[in-house]
Each structure stands twice: as structure tokens, then as C-alpha cells.
Amino acid sequence: MPDHSTPPVSTAPVAPGSFSSEELEDLQTFLKDWLRHQGRTQADLRRALRAESIRMPVLLDHLLQLHAQGGLSALAARLCGIEELWQRSEVDEGPSSEAGEISPSQLDLLLEEIRQDRRI
């Protein structure tokens, strides 16, 4: 006899607009934790989403519209894409691109040039 003590897991996609208040709260908490972990702000997320405001309700509304258009997979793909974009921008900028910072190899070259100038 099969065990019916646990309900079957639904594989059907969540219908658009069917987020409960608890799920919205979970999404908001996730976004705040994710931003903190990434070292980003709501303003960074606003820019990535091209939303009108940095306020969390506006950001959530933008994400819910995305969910309504493409489902949970579209929402997850967009957030993963944003994270990838942020990681690429961190690599491109790199730690030595800060204004006024000189790498040790640049210092060695500068020192060698000074020594050559003194010999002349």
C-alpha cells in the first residue's frame, strides 16, 4: 500500500501573480541578503533592472512582472544574469584600477627609469 502521508510535489509552474504575501516577503529577504552578499545596493539592482526607483516595492514589482511574463525560470535567469554582470565588472575593474594605485611591477619600471636618467 503506498504511503500518502506526504503530499506529492507539484511540478507545475507557479501561475503569474500567484505570489502569496509570505512568498513576497521571502523574495524580499532573499534579495536583501543577496545584495549584501554581493556587496551591492538596491541602487545597483535598480540600474541592472532598469527600474524607475530604488525602493524595494518597485524592484519587487519589476521582478513580479518578469515572473508573470516568463515564469520562475525567467526570474531566476535574470537574477543570475545580473550576478554574472556584476562579477564581470569586478574582474574588469580589478583592484589595481583604483585612481592613484601603482602595482609593484610599475614601481620597478619607474625605479629603473630613474636609475637610467641618473647615469646620463
pLDDT score, position 19 = 86
Smallest Cα–Cα separation from 15: which of 68, 65, 79? 68
Rounded to a whole number of angstroms, the CA Rg of the chain reads: 24
In this prediction, the residues of the chain whose per-residue pLDDT falls under 50 are 2, 6-16, 96-97
Please tell me the pTM assigned to this model: 0.62
Q: What is the pLDDT of residues 48-72, one digit of tens each?
A: 999 999 999 999 999 999 999 999 9
Cell of 62: 519589476
Q: Which helix H or strand E contains 19, and what residues bound it?
A: none
**24 to 1, 28, 33, 62, 118: CA distances (angstroms):** 39, 6, 14, 13, 69
DSSP class of 88: H
How many CB atoms sit inside 10 A of residue 76's CB? 12
